[in-house]
Structures are given as structure tokens and as C-alpha cells.
Structure 1
Amino acid sequence: MLKKLGLVDLHASIKQKIEDKTGLMAYDHVPEDVPSPFYFIEVVDKRPEDTKVMWCEVFTVWIHAIAEAGKSKIAIYDMIEKLEEALTEELVLPEEIDILRQSEVGMQSLQEDETGEMHAIVAYEIKVSYGFKVKI
């Protein structure tokens, strides 16, 4: 039986890395009336991507950056830059799981919300391996 990476473990690892490296809060559910700036983490896809010899999965994660309301986009650009820098470091996952790829897919959206806050979505793909396939 394979021990797979749970969504809670993945989310916790991403949250910890973002908060440690950016100094801003990262949420899975944004509490009402939380002041910006902050990040919001959303796992949007999980799919198998086995190789000939390994059990693998790829997770697609959208990280929303919400900057303070204002006329300038500098604050959101700064948040995106800090996020990108934070996630250049490998995530810390359970010991039995190996990260094969942790890469930015790109910015999916940049818009001004109805609150006046700038909102960017940056997508990441994380490919993990659970171990080698063995023929018996």
C-alpha cells in the first residue's frame, strides 16, 4: 500500500513556506473582514502522472495574492515577487514523499476586486513520487 500525499499536508507545507518567507498570512479560507495584504491557497487539481518505474502525482495549486487597495500596482507586484522567491525553496513534505518538480506555471489573473484591492493568481505545479514500482 502506498502512503500518498494528503491535501492537508501539501497545504500546510505551502502555507508554512509562504508565511515564513514573506511575513504575510496565507489562508485556505479567508476569515471575514481580514485586512489585506494576504495570500489564499487553493489546490485546484490532482492527477496521476506515473512513469514506467515510479508512482507519481501532480498537484496544481493556485495562490491568490490580495494587496491593499490603492491606485498603484506596485504592492501586488511586490507580493508576487515575494511569493515567487519564497517558492524557489523546496517544500517540506513527509519523509517518504519526494518532490520531483516544483515549478511556477505562471500568473493566471491580475485584476482589481470590487473592494479596490488588487488580486493576482499565480499557479504552481508540484510533482511528487511515492516510490518505485516493483515486479514480483
Structure 2
Amino acid sequence: MNKAFAAGLRQVIIVPATLLAIGISTKAAFAQNKLYSPIPLTTNSAELADMLSDKDIPTGQGGFARDYTVKLEKGDNLAVDLTSENFDSIITLLAPNGSTLAENDDGPDGTSNSLLFTRIVETGTYIIRVRSFGETGVGAFKLKVTKLQPIK
């Protein structure tokens, strides 16, 4: 086989494969954005009533999770209150980089509801994740996110 022909053939084969890989990863990214879209929240809103269902994010432990985004400023003091009569709740606050900043399973009132307090150290968009403990289920819940005001 001619060396020039073989070199040209390799270039023709490599370029389309690279383009194909880029096309597949782009389609996957678009599909992922359609499948995962956290619900935006404002911290000035009243209590939110919502439902956790088997259509939400699987946790890998048999339960499901629902994510909410909230924009927070450095120095904000945050209280997140999650209650449900249908499942044992867990509340998780994820930092803008995706790491777990804070988490609470059972609140101080002795129930399976969750209550979380934290101070924000970096301005950004945070994820508040509502999920059920293990395989405890799905159902209605109430979520309240409050920026606490310092005592003057």
C-alpha cells in the first residue's frame, strides 16, 4: 500500500471519529440538562408545599430526591426546615462546587423532620436537596428556607 495513501486514510478515519465523539457527548449533555433541572427558590418566599415522587432523582439507596436552587451571599445565615408526614426526611445543602456543606436527618423536636442551620461563606448558587431516608418513600412535604437576620 502506498504510504501517502495510508497516511491520508488514517486522517480521514480519525477526524470523523473525533467529530462523532464530540457529537455524542454534546447530545448527552443536552439530554442531561433536560433530565436534571433543579427548581429555583427565593429565600423570601413563604413555606413551599411540594411532592416527592418516584419520578424524582433516584438516590441509589432506594429513595428519591428533589433539588432546589437558591442564590446566597457570603455571610447569610440560613435556616432550612423540612417536614413531612409521609416519609422520613433528610435535608442537604450543596455548595456551588457540588460538595456537601451541611446535612440534617432528624430535627431537635424528636420527629423524623429535618432542620438545618448554617452560615454561608461563599456567594453563589446553592442546591437544597430534599430526600427520603433509605427506602422510606415518597409523598407530600413542606419546605421553608429563611435568611435569618442578625440581632442588633
TM-score, reference length from structure 1: 0.30
Larger radius of gyration: 2
TM-score, reference length from structure 2: 0.28
